[in-house]
Structure 1
Amino acid sequence: MHGSPLVFLSDQGGCFTSKLMQDICDLLKIRKVKTTAYHPQCNGMVKCFNQTLIAQLKKYTADHPDNWEHYLPYAVSAYNATPHTAMRHSPFSLLRGYEPCITFNYDCPRRLTLLLNYDAYQHILTQAQLKMHEKVKTNLDKSAAVSKEYFD
C-alpha cells in the first residue's frame, strides 16, 4: 500500500472503534467500515496474513522475542518478495510488474529505465503486468479447482 487508504476495514475491537480512530479517519477522509460480529470470513485474508507474519517473526526473533518490531520490515519485505503458491508470483511483482532486486541476487536486471524512454518503458511494464495478471487468473482458477476437488 502506498499513501493513505480510501477505506479502512476492521473488526469491532476496541482499538478500532474508539473515538480517536474515528477522528483520525475523519481527518484523513478515510471511510471506516466494520465487519459484522461473528462473521470471520470478512477478515479471512488478514487473519491468514497475520498467521504467516507471526510465524516469520518467530523465526527471526527466537533469541530476542522482545525486539520483534525491529524485524518487522524484514519479515514484510520477505513476504512481499516471495511468490505465493496459488498465484505463482510475488505480491511485489504483481504490483510493480517486475521482481524485486534483492541485494544478494546478482542476476537482477538493473535500471531498465536508463535504456528506454518513458513511453517505451511504460508500454513494456504494462504488457508485462497484463501478461502476469492473465497467468495469475489461470493459476488461481486451477488452485480453486484443486481446492474444490479436495473439499468435495
Structure 2
Amino acid sequence: MKIQIINGPNLNLLGVREKSIYGNTDFETYLQTLRQRFTDLTIDYYQSNVEGEIINKLHEIGFTYDGIVLNAGAYTHTSIAIADAIAAINTPVIEVHISNVYKREEFRHTSMLAASCKGVIAGFGMNSYQLGIESFLIEL
C-alpha cells in the first residue's frame, strides 16, 4: 500500500514555530516514526508552501496511490482550487490537522476541503497523521 503525506504552508517549520500549538518535533523526525510503525506501507512525503504545487502533487499521485493524508494548513480554509483537485482524483484523501482547529480562531472552523475528503482528523497532535494512515487500513 502506498500512502502520500502532503503538508502545506508553514508546516516545514514544525518543531520551531508556535511550539505550544504544534509541538517540538520536526516533521522529518516524526515521519521516521511513522515509517517504523508501518513497515508494510510505502509512505512518501511532500511539503510545499505554494498552493499550485500542492495541486500539482495531488494530480501527479491522485490516480496511483492508495491514500493521501493532507494537512493543507491555512489553505484548508481558503482553497477552492485544492478542494477541486481532491474531487478530481481517484485516490481518497484524509484531511488532518495537528491542532484542534475548532478551539482556535473562528475562520479556522470552516474547511473548504472537507466535503471532498474521505474524512477529517483534527486535534491529536502529530498523531493525527498516524490516525489518518490507520483510516486507510480499516474497512469503513
TM-score norm. by structure 1 comes to 0.25
Counting helix residues as a fraction of each chain, which structure ranks higher?
Answer: 1
Comparing both structures, which one devotes a greater share of its residues to strand?
2
TM-score of the superposed pair, with normalisation by structure 2: 0.26
Larger radius of gyration: 1
